[in-house]
Amino acid sequence: MVGLVLVSHSPKIAEGLTDLTSEIAAAHKGIVAAGGLEDGTIGTDAIRISEAIRQANDGDGVVVLADLGSGVMSSETAIELLEDEDIKVKLADAPLVEGTIAAAVSAMVGSDLEAVLKAAEDCRGVKKIP
């Protein structure tokens, strides 16, 4: 199953979103929070993100979703750190909450890496209120 890594500057946001997603896509066990710095403070850390990618990977690849600009940059650095490893990783250009839920459901039903990425990215621009 395609794994998911949730990158947020806030550990509480990443962990809360992991909890929410685990309720909606209960069969998906490869959702890993990579929020905050090692000491629990606000920030992002490429090393923590790369470790989360390794943890989420079961061989089908990993989609990374991030909250803000420096979270994206830390995620890109984390992916570069894993270049010598045989892990397929994609960084989604998607809203963190909606993209995560869509990606988790897509992964849970057996979609491949590209389809899971597309499910997340298809959430861009979706209107919540008609």
Q: What is the pTM of this model?
A: 0.95
pLDDT computed for residue 28 by the predictor: 86
pLDDT computed for residue 116 by the predictor: 98
Q: Which residue ranges of the chain lie beneath pLDDT 70? A: none
Is 9 an annotated catalytic residue? yes
pLDDT computed for residue 130 by the predictor: 83
What is the three-state SS of the chain?
CCEEEEEECCHHHHHHHHHHHHHHCCCCCCEEEEECCCCCCCCCCHHHHHHHHHHHCCCCCEEEEECCHHHHHHHHHHHHHCCCCCCCEEECCCCHHHHHHHHHHHHHCCCCHHHHHHHHHCCCCCCCCC
pLDDT, one tens digit per residue, over 87-113 is: 999 999 999 999 999 999 999 999 999
Domain covering 3-121, topology: Rossmann fold (3.40.50)
Largest CA-CA distance found in the chain, in angstroms, rounded: 46
* From 2, 5, 7, 9, the catalytic residue: 9
pLDDT computed for residue 112 by the predictor: 98
